[in-house]
Amino acid sequence: MNQKEIEQSCRAVLQAEAKAIQDLTNQMKPDVLKEVVDKIANCSGKIVVSGCGTSGVAAAKIVHSLCCIEKPAVYLSPSDAVHGRLGVLQPEDILILISKGGNTKELINLIPACHTKGSFLIGITENTDSIIGKEAHLCLQVRVEKEPDPFNMLATASILAVIATFDAIIITLMTETNYTREQFGVIHPGGAVGEKLLQK
């Protein structure tokens, strides 16, 4: 590929991903979003988030952002979960399962324990008719028209859509919980962000 072709390819991907995120504003279901925000805001335990592959990467990012606003969260590896790590999940916790198709076997394996323990299950998927979509107490649909790669297979725009949706939820939670700059300064004293927060 020459320079012009590379530029055109990169531009097309960025435009496709930007459109996917912009389209989320037309997909929002206010009642579902309100329930997600309310459940997390009022959670007396922790938020346990799990996903496989790229969804697992998104889960880890969501966990970090939740911790940044003092909503205790942990990432649960699906493979470790079924070998005893499910003990981290307690009745007062929320379990969030992220799966594009909603039928990821490794995540489905976590559902019986979640129901037995009495934890609240939130499913994040494109397919509300999937196993996760139907088994979840609350299903938040996040979908994109198309992935920008030639095979429509690589989880790129779809994962950005999940992350962007939770960015919106987390920033809304900051207002909902009256989260302060001073609180943020206590838990984020490091780096340039910490220096800025701690400036008097």
Please state the length of the chain: 200
Query: Both tokens of residue 95?
Result: 């379990």
What percent of the chain lies above the pLDDT cut of 90? 88
Q: Which of 15, 2, 50 has the alpha carbon at shortest distance from 160?
A: 15
Quote the CATH superfamily of domain 3-179.
Answer: Glucose-6-phosphate isomerase like protein; domain 1 (3.40.50.10490)
For 110-133, how does the pLDDT look when each residue is reduced to its tens digit (9 = 90+)? 999 999 999 999 999 999 999 999
Indicate the pLDDT class of residue 81, thresholds 50, 70 and 90: very high
Q: List the 94-98 sheet strands across, edge first.
A: 73-75, 47-51, 94-98, 120-125, 138-141
- For 162-181, write each residue's pLDDT tens digit: 999 999 999 999 999 998 88
Which residues lie below 8 Å from residue 19, measured CB to CB, with a gap of 6+? Answer: 145
Residue closest to 97 by CA, chosen among 112, 160, 173: 112
Q: Which of 69, 48, 41 is nearest to 120 (CA)?
A: 48
Q: Please tell me the distance from the alpha carbon of residue 40 to that of residue 47, in angstroms, as a whole number.
A: 8
Give residue limits of the domains in the chain: 3-179
93 within 8 A of 73, measured Cβ to Cβ: no
Structure tokens at 130: 């999937």
